[in-house]
């Protein structure tokens, strides 16, 4: 039987979230959305820092101790310090992951090695822990790949955070494709044009600033230009695309049809936008209607806009009201 090809985009994932028995107690923390849904669209690259740096399964549980900005990774009861061991492994692992061209990473919530935020850090000598820590490997990963979208599986249970993360992952995938084709000013203009409305939905300010950056980029060093553009782009996409900002973009899109829509079509569209603006219907409703008009009236510019089709419909990311 012929096998389906692997999805082209790669997403790093903590191994326990894929159902692998790698946790300190010999168990796992299978997340079916990550494994079964995201696994349909990404090649999942599993990573377990604790096992891969040489610790056994099962093992004594670890925790972070000391300064929340640079804590040590130690065993909970015996107090053995594994900071140096984990750091040495991580430096080599990050080199290998760099070659994978990851588009993002889903970490394990609360893990002293892999938690990307809100990890407990215990004071030296005991006491009440803070929640300001970042897992040792997760911290090194973010320092090495500051633009890559990262989340933990706990935050992905929130529909808005889930949509924001996966949207950024797909933008990163398209950005990698742009770079892989050979970065030129023309390809930057093409990429930026495709993502203008998506940026507008997250930050009208960044929409204007990125447009100005592209407009005045002639003669600049390509590597420096690509780095600045990507930095500003992914900073903007981290901001929430609120209902108000989405309505602004949807009205902007509607303006492209002002000479083509009939009176009834305009009224229907205004009613649909109004219902979304009052949070009575999800974003997928006005977007679906606008995509219908894009096809009906052959609007090529809008057909290419990532905002109208930012990720696979099967993920149902815009179905929450």
Q: Which residue has the tokens 């997250």?
A: 202
Beta-carbon contacts of residue 4 (< 8 Å; ≥ 6 apart): none
**Measured distance between the N- and C-terminal CA atoms of the chain, rounded to whole angstroms:** 42
**Rounded distance, CA 240 to CA 155, Å?**
14
Half-sphere exposure of 226 (CA within 13 A, CB side): 18
Among 95, 105, 171, residue whose Cα is nearest residue 134: 105
For the chain, the structural domain boundaries read: 10-154, 158-321
Task: Give CA 206 to chain center in angstroms.
Answer: 18
Strand, helix or coil for residue 122: strand
Do 224 and 269 form a contact (C-beta atoms < 8 A)? no
* φ, ψ (nearest 5 deg) of residue 275: -65, -40
Do 61 and 89 form a contact (C-beta atoms < 8 A)? no
Confidence at residue 1, expressed as pLDDT on a 0 to 100 scale: 40
Please state whether the peptide bond connecting residue 108 to the residue before it is cis, i.e. omega within 30 degrees of 0. Answer: no
Six token digits for residue 84: 């140096």
Six token digits for residue 305: 């806009």
Torsion of CA 47, 51, 52, 55, to 10 degrees: 160
Do 207 and 196 form a contact (C-beta atoms < 8 A)? yes
Task: Give CA 83 to chain center in angstroms.
Answer: 28
Among 116, 191, 189, residue whose Cα is nearest residue 148: 116
Torsion of CA 299, 304, 306, 310, to 10 degrees: 90
Residues in a beta bridge with 43: 10
**Rounded distance, CA 138 to CA 163, Å?**
21
Residues in a beta bridge with 119: 133
Confidence at residue 2, expressed as pLDDT on a 0 to 100 scale: 43
pTM recorded for the entire structure: 0.95
Which residues does the chain have with pLDDT short of 50? 1-3
Q: Which residue has the tokens 């209902």?
A: 243
Among 188, 200, 169, 190, residue whose Cα is nearest residue 226: 188
Q: Which residue has the tokens 């009205």?
A: 251
Confidence at residue 4, expressed as pLDDT on a 0 to 100 scale: 54
**Rounded distance, CA 149 to CA 242, Å?**
19
- Helix or strand holding residue 231 (H, E): helix 222-237
* φ, ψ (nearest 5 deg) of residue 35: -70, -50
């Amino acid at each position: 039987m012929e096998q389906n090809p692997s999805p082209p985009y790669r997403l790093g994932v903590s191994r326990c979230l894929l159902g692998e028995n790698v946790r300190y107690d010999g168990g796992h923390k299978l997340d079916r959305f990550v494994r079964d849904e995201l696994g349909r669209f990404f090649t999942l690259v599993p990573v377990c820092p604790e096992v891969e740096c040489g610790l056994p399964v099962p093992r004594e549980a670890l925790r972070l101790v000391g300064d929340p900005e640079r804590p040590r990774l130690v065993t909970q009861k015996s107090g053995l310090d594994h900071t140096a061991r984990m750091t040495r492994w991580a430096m080599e692992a990050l080199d290998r992951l760099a070659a994978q061209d990851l588009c993002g990473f889903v970490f394990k919530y609360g893990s002293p090695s892999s938690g990307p935020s809100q990890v407990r850090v215990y004071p030296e000598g005991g006491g009440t822990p803070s929640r300001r820590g970042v897992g040792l490997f997760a911290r090194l990963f973010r320092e090495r790949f500051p633009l890559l979208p990262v989340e933990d599986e706990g935050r992905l249970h929130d529909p808005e955070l889930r949509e924001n993360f996966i949207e950024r992952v797909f933008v990163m995938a398209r950005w990698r494709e742009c770079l892989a084709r050979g970065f030129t000013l023309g390809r930057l203009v093409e990429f930026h044009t495709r993502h203008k409305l998506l940026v507008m939905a997250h930050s009208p300010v960044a929409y204007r600033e990125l447009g100005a950056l592209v407009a005045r980029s002639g003669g600049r060093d390509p590597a420096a230009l690509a780095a600045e553009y990507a930095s500003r782009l992914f900073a903007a996409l981290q901001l929430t695309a609120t209902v108000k900002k989405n309505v602004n973009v949807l009205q902007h899109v509607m303006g492209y049809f002002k000479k083509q829509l009939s009176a009834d079509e305009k009224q229907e569209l205004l009613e649909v936008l109004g219902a979304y603006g009052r949070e009575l219907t999800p974003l997928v409703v006005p977007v679906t209607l606008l995509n219908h008009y894009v096809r009906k009236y052959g609007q090529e510019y809008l057909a290419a806009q990532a905002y109208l089709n930012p990720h696979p419909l099967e993920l149902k990311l815009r179905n929450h009201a």
